[in-house]
């Protein structure tokens, strides 16, 4: 009779093993989630190579983004971020120009507010065909 009970409901030993397995699975899941959060969304070496060796403006902009927000093990670094946004903007990247305009207008990313620089970068983006919003258009017209 106990044999049938154990087959239907499991023995205490089986219950202990199932509980240990559940705990192991939960711990493994938490550890995998933690590890995945520390991974970069980008292949940093490839992005860096394409920005420096191939001089691709989009990848210069992307380095600016990576250093602005941080990514994986890379901590935010505003000095490097401004450097790469500027490199991208000087290479013709329109979103980088807009970002620089915003940084100088607001004093973000470790730069001092500089209205003339802000207007300069917004105007450059507009000349390049970037569709600026009404707020920025009003800002550069003053």
Q: For position 40, what pLDDT does the model report? A: 60
Q: How many residues does the chain have?
A: 142
**Full-model pTM:** 0.69
> What are the boundaries of each domain within the chain?
2-38, 44-141
pLDDT tens for 53-85 read: 889 999 999 999 999 999 888 899 999 999 999
pLDDT band at 94 (very low <50, low <70, confident <90, very high): very high
**Superfamily name and number for 44-141:** Tetratricopeptide repeat domain (1.25.40.10)
pLDDT score of 101 more than 60: yes
pLDDT score of 4 more than 50: no
Q: For position 16, what pLDDT does the model report? A: 61
């Amino acid at each position: 009779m106990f044999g049938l009970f154990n087959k239907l409901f499991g023995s205490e030993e089986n219950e202990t093993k199932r509980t240990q397995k559940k705990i192991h699975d939960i711990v493994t899941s938490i550890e995998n989630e933690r590890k995945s959060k520390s991974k970069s969304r980008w292949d940093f070496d490839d992005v860096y190579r394409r920005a420096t060796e191939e001089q691709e403006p989009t990848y210069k902009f992307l380095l600016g983004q990576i250093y602005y927000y941080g990514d994986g093990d890379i901590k935010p670094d505003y000095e490097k971020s401004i450097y790469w946004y500027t490199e991208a903007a000087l290479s013709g990247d329109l979103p980088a120009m807009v970002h620089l305009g915003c940084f100088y207008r607001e004093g973000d990313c470790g730069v001092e507010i500089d209205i003339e620089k802000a207007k300069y970068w917004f105007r450059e983006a507009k000349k390049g065909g970037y569709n600026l919003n009404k707020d920025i258009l009003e800002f550069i017209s003053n």
